[in-house]
Every structure is written in structure tokens, then in C-alpha cells.
Structure 1
Amino acid sequence: MGELDAAPPAFLGLAGHPVRWRLLTALARSDRQVHELTALVGEPQNLVSYHLGRLRAAGLVFVRRSAADGRVGFYALDLARCGDLLAAAGAALHPALALVPPPLAGFAPPGAVLFLCTGNSARSQMAEVLLQRARPELTVASAGSHPKPLHPDAVRVMAERGIDMSERRSKHLGEFTGDRFGHVVTLCDRVRLVAPDFPGEPERVHWSIPDPARAGDGLAAFVRTADELSTRIHYLLHRIMPTSTVED
């Protein structure tokens, strides 16, 4: 079979449907529940659920039961897989079209980033230091609705990645309620329900990441959490940071 007879990449047909593209676009910004997606795309829930099922079967999205209410789930987009499939689709048309993300500019955008979870003992602290290491020029903070001491496995996992968290303290989100942020990222389904409004209407982002301390497999859960946070932060940076441009 010649190259002109080759079928188009399946990703193009899957993502190219108008409803599915709107769902992907919504999930690229934040994890969301079905009723939120239904309101955003303006389609009946049964139709939204059908298209989410198609995206889930293809491995583009996944769902997690809410830690705050096990009757509902949060859908999330696998941006790394989407990136791989987009790059493969471009390369299938022409080798020069294999997609490469643009480099980030060397200056910070206005507004700081605040990570929130319940205890500020693992997820939000890990996210804060990972983002700080990736872009030291950014102002980053973290807090919790019910702070508790840092979890030793969170400290250990970060130490294995060259980051010392041993002297950090947990903070209550009330310490920041009067501060301005460009982005507020909730990492816990429970804190999402109680997070206050912040001045300046920052962009609210939710990542439904399970509490590694409750996973039951010790250090391995904290390694998974650090890996997921690293991936999500990589893609968050491409949304909040200016990108460099190449001039002719």
C-alpha cells in the first residue's frame, strides 16, 4: 500500500469531532465533573458522557472518584499522550511537522501561583517546590484548609529529586486570603469545595490528585504523586508563561 492510501491517524478523527474538541479544550485547563462539562459545552449530559467514553477508551482522558464525594468523578486530560499523538499525526503528514513545544520566555508573567490541598503536608508542598525549581523567577506559595506537619515520605521523595523540604512549614490558606494570584490550583477535591475567593479573580485550576498518604503503598504513592505533579506543572507552565518567538 502506498503512502497516499494510508488512513489518517485515528487521533485526528477522534479529536476532530466538535463536541470532543470542546471537551478536550475544557479539560486542558482543569479537571472537571460531568455536569461542569455539560454546562461548558452546552450539550445534553448523555451526549457528553458518550463522547467522554470515546475519549476515555482512546486513553486521552481518565476519571478519578472524588475524594470529597465518591458518587462523582473528575475527568482529567492526559496531555502527554495528546502531545505524543499530535506529534505523530504531524509527522505522518510530513517529517518536518512533528510538533515541538515552543521554548518558554525568560521572564515571569504577572501574578503568583498558589497551590492548595487539605493538609499542606504533601501534594501542595511538593507542587510548590517543583514549580519553584522549574522557574525560580515565579512567585509560588502553598497552603491547606487543615494544615498538618509535613509527611516524611514527601520530604524523602523530594530529597531524592535534589530538593530539601525538611525545614518547610505547613500553612493555613487564611494566610493568603488577601493576596493576589494569577493562578490558584487546588490539588484536593475537598479543598476545592472550601477554597475562598481571592482578589483579582485569578484563574482557578483543579487537579484531582489522590492523597498519597491514604494510598496504602507507602513511598511508592508519593513517587507517583511527584511524577504526576511534575508532568502537570510542565504543561501548566506552557499556559501561564510567555513563550519565546523566533524572529526571521
Structure 2
Amino acid sequence: MMPPVRTAPAFVRMAAHPLRWRMMTELAVSDYRVRELVELLGQPQNLVSYHLRLLRGSGLVTARRSSFDARDHYHHLDLERCADALAGAGAALHPGLRLDLTPPPAAIAESPARSSVLFACTGNSARSPIAEALLRHRAGGRVEVASAGSHPAPRTHPNAVRALREHYGIDIAGRRPRHLDTVARHRFDHRISLCDRVREVRPEFGDRPRPIHWSIADPAATDDVDQFRHLAAEIDTRIRYLLPVLTHATKPEAQP
């Protein structure tokens, strides 16, 4: 009797399609709207939308309505889910291939070079200062990091201060929001917007190098500290997956 045929894991089937794989590699770097993916991939919008629906149906990609233009959506590749799916795919092939693909929190510390990152949002009162503090904390001093806003708020939001202090032991109580103009002349290796408004109103912010966007909802209008805790956790996850990128980008080339 022939053994039963086992189908490939869902992740393998989903990622095996060339266009979906290209989408995933683009979304692994930055969140994008459909029309931006159409331009990046050079494919018709109906084809891009079709494969995006499949990726969303698999749970690998999520969509979030733009907080600036509510008619648009940003698509995000869930790297945590991808890591779990990759580990599961390896184990499905052979038990010895079960892998832990979670990036090490201190991966950047092994890099002798120093990279620089700028985070931006509108008020520089919650999202971008949280990202700045978490990257500085996790990078262990191996990254030059700053944050700024297009319309700085009078102060850092108290709930952002509280969320970082309670869950990460980081104190940003003394920092003041600052304007993007104050860092305009500094050349950063990576410029990351966390606010849909900044990305859509200030496209020159991410002109060079290639812009990165994290579409993250603004909790500053609410006094619900749980929203800030969720915000910090989401940003921390993205930071952990950014660290290996910074390490790879700054490692010296191997000598022959």
C-alpha cells in the first residue's frame, strides 16, 4: 500500500508563488498601500489585489486603514507568524529541521559598525519616542537613534512614559518632542515613519535612503494606558526584527 500523500504546509504553498514571494519580501521591509505595491512589482492592480487577498486570508499579511486617508489601507507582513510558519514547515519535513527563528534581542551588539536610525510621527509624543527608546535599549548603544515629529506636541505623552517604565524599565520622562527640521541635515542610514500622516504629507521625509513605513495607530487621543502598552509591544516586535537588518547592513565585507 502506498503511503498517504502529505500536502506541503500552508506557508510553503503560499510563499512558493513567485509574485506572492516578491510581495512578502517587499512587505518584510515596509508597510505599503496597494498602488505602491503595484508600482514596486510592475504588475496589474487586479493581480496584486488578488494575491494580497490570499496572503491576508492565510494570516501572513494584515491590513490597517490609513489614519490620514481613510480610503486607503496599509498592508503589513506579520514576521512573528512567518517565523512560526517557517519553523513549522521545517518540522513537517523532518523533526531535525525544527528551528527557532525568533531573532535574538541583542543581535546588533555583535556588529562593530554603527548604524543610524530616525523615527518620525506627527507629534513625536508617543509612537516615535517609544520606538527610539526601545531601539536604543535593545541595541545596547550600537545604534545612533533619534526621533522627531512634523508637528511636535508640547510634551511626551504620560502614558507613553508609563508604558515604557512599567514594562521595559526605560524612563523617558525628561525628553521633549522635537521637530523634523532639527534633524533635517543629519544623514541617517534608515528613516522610519510610524505615522500615516507624516508619510503621506511629508514624502520628502523618506526620500533617501529608501523609506520604511510602519503603519501604527496613534493612541495619543486616548487616556487608556492599555492602548499604549499594546502600542509599545507592537513596536518592540518590529524593533526585534529590525535589529538583524541593521546588523546585516553594517557588517564589514568578508576578506577573500
Same fold flag (TM > 0.5): yes
Compute the displacement of 1:213 (Å): 1.8
2:98 aligned partner: 98
Residue 178 of structure 2 is aligned with which of 160, 164, 171?
171
1:34 aligned partner: 34
Amino acid at match of 1:144: G
Aligned pair in 2 of structure 1 residues 3, 165: CA closer, same or farther (>3 Å)?
farther
The answer to whether the Cα contact below 8 Å between 1:187 and 1:208 also exists between their aligned partners in 2 is yes
Give yes or no for the alignment of 1:73 onto 2:64.
no
How does 1:1-248 map onto structure 2 within 5 Å?
5-101=5-101, 104=107, 106-135=110-139, 136-148=141-153, 149-160=155-166, 161-193=168-200, 194-197=202-205, 201-214=208-221, 216=222, 218-242=224-248
Number of residues of Structure 1 aligned to a counterpart in Structure 2: 242
1: distance between equivalents of 2:239 and 2:114?
17
Q: Structure 1 stretches of 5 or more lacking a match? A: none
1: distance between equivalents of 2:48 and 2:127?
30
Q: Secondary structure at the match of 1:63?
A: strand
Q: Secondary structure at the match of 1:235?
A: helix
RMSD: 2.1
2: distance between equivalents of 1:159 and 1:3?
56
Q: Secondary structure at the match of 1:166?
A: coil
Amino acid at match of 1:96: G
The answer to whether the Cα contact below 8 Å between 1:108 and 1:242 also exists between their aligned partners in 2 is no
Amino acid at match of 2:196: D
Amino acid at match of 1:133: H
Amino acid at match of 1:113: V
The TM-score, its normalising length taken from structure 2, stands at: 0.88
**1:93-131 deviations in whole A, cap 9, x for unaligned?**
122322344763512544310000000000000000000
1: distance between equivalents of 2:36 and 2:3?
42
2: distance between equivalents of 1:3 and 1:111?
53
2: distance between equivalents of 1:36 and 1:22?
13
Amino acid at match of 1:218: D
